[in-house]
Structure 1
């Protein structure tokens, strides 16, 4: 199983690193992919993170799940990258898991993907989400789309993604190691 998480300049640190941590604790193959021409990507907090690979050097169409962190202007930079929109569309249309947190669900709107699905996003983007059923929940799942409201729910988001891919036993083991009841 292969999971990709996309990093754009200005991504939210915890929204990217918490899901990576969850999947690596579960022993799963998750790769961080820079959408820039550099492996080093700066978060919205100014933290430099070294991605595993660069988008133009990898075919992300072979993954089982695609994760989109938010952060400003990170989610806007993701949305402005056509390859990201095309990948999200392919994943959604083929029933593979797509995770989007904070402002990243606006990428769906930008490309007209998953209209009518239930989702959540950062409160500052709520009004942009016309055409969707906005729930405002911390984490929301509708079919193969998992969304989360923001940074404070990054671990919960990662665990929801893990559950969708591996089920409850794997989640229970990771939660135990993280001291989550």
Structure 2
């Protein structure tokens, strides 16, 4: 259980893979936690079902106005455009890096580890991702493995990663366990 814990979900204004946002969000709520949607702009974010527009979701706070000290953990949903946009936003990269510096758990799925690469927090960590990120992660100093979920505790914090939407059940379970301490 993660009763009383607040978990940040960092996303771009558009391009989020909807199921990679909504399933972990539900898992956090069902475990008693409070999810908060953080983006780089106020308003609503546009999610996608692969390449098709899906639902929009209200932003709770802007990355430039919050810090890791406001939260107990971080989820980075995937989608190709989402992390590609975030890794080019200094306030988003700073926000991600703060979770590692503070030793707080982070969960990233699919293409989301691109943002971790930009934050320079994967060196000497073991993780997984969508297969096309394998070379990027290895070049950034990570050990990449092809597994449904990887929980890496060999660093300043617990890092949970998964490859794709088919891995969401295992990803959500491991993330909630990490957020529970």
TM-score, normalised relative to structure 1: 0.84
Gaps of 5+ in 1: 168-181
TM-superposed deviation, 1:114: 3.1
| 1:88 corresponding residue in structure 2 | 96
- The one of 162, 165, 177 equivalent to 1:148 is 162
TM-score, normalised relative to structure 2: 0.84
| 1:70 corresponding residue in structure 2 | 78
CA RMSD of aligned residues (A): 1.7
| 1:135 corresponding residue in structure 2 | 145
TM-superposed deviation, 1:46: 0.5
Give aligned pairs, total.
Answer: 167
SS at 2:15's partner residue?
Answer: coil
SS at 1:147's partner residue?
Answer: strand
TM-superposed deviation, 1:121: 0.5
**As a proportion of its length, which structure holds more strand?**
2
| 2:106 corresponding residue in structure 1 | 98
> Is the alpha carbon distance of 1:164 and 1:111 closer, same or farther for their aligned partners in structure 2, counting shifts above 3 Å?
closer
SS at 2:35's partner residue?
Answer: strand
| 1:37 corresponding residue in structure 2 | 42
Gaps of 5+ in 2: none
Q: 4+ residue runs of structure 1 moved beyond 3 angstroms? A: none
| 8 Å CA contact retained: 1:38, 1:54 | no
